[in-house]
């Protein structure tokens, strides 16, 4: 009994830890951006610090060269990268949303913020062409994009990176967010165990240039399809909520609040394994 009680206490401590260190204002900002552009935001709240640290660890020590972060949002991963030792003047943040860009510039003095499209990476980073890039760290909601666009993103990232560069990406799905067929013979892919202390739980994938990378197993391809479907379904709901919110702009009616609450609780309830239930039958 005493042990059970202690476990409960520990769990509540863990939950508190998970939430602390993230200003409440960031949650609100995030939710607002989610309603305005769900496909871009792709998450219900900023990443927790356990996930942010796992992203920073995947980059490894950076002594020279730039680290480019794609989709920094309110900056949890940026903070973890700086804490891990990436010098602010070697960090480039590529963010689409103007409000996030302003916030990042205030929050991280000395870090360069580029407002632009990460999927047009070569153009967005054109004026950095002469500086070697050591790592690209992405929190972009890749599963909201078609596989060809995701494959093009990683191609561009490796074309811009110095030899030995690394591409880091987190995902709420169970399969590689970079289509496995696109990686075969080009990039090796390695995933961490799920980071359960994040809402929702996520994995960090690390890709490196590797001409011997093996072809995907059929099971992995099927998992990718399932993960894609889950992303689509989720974004559809967020888009519907956004439309409702815009229609009622000015007076945030009870219906809108209830809808937002539903989305939040569903996103929190979902587990990565849910996608198995929705896999299409084999041909």
Ligand X SMILES: C[S@@+](CC[C@H](N)C(=O)[O-])C[C@H]1O[C@@H](n2cnc3c(N)ncnc32)[C@H](O)[C@@H]1O
54 binds ligand X per the rule CB under 6 A: no
C-beta of 210 vs 233, nearer to ligand X: 233
169: which DSSP letter? E
Query: Which residue from 67, 93, 255, 236 is spatially nearest to 161, judged by alpha carbons?
Result: 67
Q: Out of 73, 147, 177, 242, which residue is the one contacting ligand X (CB under 6 A)?
A: 73
C-beta of 97 vs 216, nearer to ligand X: 97
118 binds ligand X per the rule CB under 6 A: yes
C-beta of 49 vs 134, nearer to ligand X: 49
Question: For tokens 């075969």, what's the residue?
Answer: 184
Q: Structure tokens of 68?
A: 């480019």
CA atoms within 13 A on the CB side of 55: 34
- Window contacting ligand X (CB under 6 A); options: 12-20, 67-75, 192-200, 269-277: 67-75
C-beta of 72 vs 179, nearer to ligand X: 72
CB of 66 to ligand X, least distance (A): 17
Q: What CA–CA distance (Å, rounded) separates 279 from 264?
A: 24
CB contact at 8 A, 123 and 101: no
Q: Out of 18, 31, 40, 197, which residue is the one contacting ligand X (CB under 6 A)?
A: 40
CB of 42 to ligand X, least distance (A): 4
Q: Out of 22, 41, 176, 177, which residue is the one contacting ligand X (CB under 6 A)?
A: 41
140 binds ligand X per the rule CB under 6 A: yes
- Window contacting ligand X (CB under 6 A); options: 39-47, 183-191, 202-210, 243-251: 39-47
C-beta of 83 vs 117, nearer to ligand X: 117
117 binds ligand X per the rule CB under 6 A: yes
Q: Structure tokens of 269?
A: 């309830």
C-beta of 216 vs 263, nearer to ligand X: 263
CB of 136 to ligand X, least distance (A): 12
Q: For residue 190, what is the enclosing H or E element?
A: strand 187-191
231 binds ligand X per the rule CB under 6 A: no
Cα end-to-end distance, the chain, whole Å: 52
CB of 196 to ligand X, least distance (A): 16
- CA torsion, ordered 60, 181, 140, 204, to nearest 10 deg: -40
Give the DSSP letter string of 72-136: -TTSHHHHHHHHTT--GGGEEEEES-HHHHHHHHHHSTTSEEEES-GGGHHHHTGGGTTS-EEEE
Angstrom CA distances, 261 to 30, 176, 266, stand at 14, 29, 8
Residues at the interface with ligand X (CB under 6 A): 40-43, 46-47, 71-73, 76-77, 94-97, 100, 117-119, 139-141
């Amino acid at each position: 009994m005493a042990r059970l009680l202690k476990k409960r206490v520990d769990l509540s401590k863990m939950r508190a830890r998970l939430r602390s260190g993230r200003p409440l204002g960031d949650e609100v900002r995030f939710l607002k951006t989610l309603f305005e552009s769900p496909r871009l935001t792709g998450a219900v709240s900023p990443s927790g610090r356990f996930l942010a640290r796992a992203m920073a660890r995947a980059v490894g020590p950076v002594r020279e060269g730039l680290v480019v972060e794609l989709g920094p949002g309110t900056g949890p991963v940026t903070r973890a990268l700086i804490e891990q030792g990436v010098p602010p003047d070697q960090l480039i943040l590529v963010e689409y949303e103007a409000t996030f860009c302003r916030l990042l510039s205030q929050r991280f003095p000395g870090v360069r913020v580029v407002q632009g499209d990460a999927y047009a990476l070569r153009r967005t980073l054109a004026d950095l062409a002469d500086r070697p890039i050591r790592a690209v760290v992405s929190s972009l909601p890749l599963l909201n994009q078609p596989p060809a666009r995701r494959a093009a993103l990683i191609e561009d990232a490796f074309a811009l990176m110095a030899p030995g560069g690394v591409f880091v990406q987190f995902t709420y799905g169970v399969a590689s967010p970079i289509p496995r067929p696109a990686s075969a013979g080009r990039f090796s892919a390695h995933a961490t165990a799920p980071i359960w202390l994040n809402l929702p739980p996520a994995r960090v994938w690390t890709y490196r240039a590797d001409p011997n990378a093996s072809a995907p197993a059929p099971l992995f391809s099927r998992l990718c399809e399932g993960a894609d479907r889950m992303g689509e379904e989720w974004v559809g709901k967020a888009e519907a909520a956004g439309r409702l919110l815009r229609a009622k702009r000015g007076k945030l009616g009870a219906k809108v609040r209830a809808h937002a609450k539903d989305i939040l609780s569903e996103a929190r309830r979902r587990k990565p394994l849910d996608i198995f239930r929705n896999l299409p039958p084999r041909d």
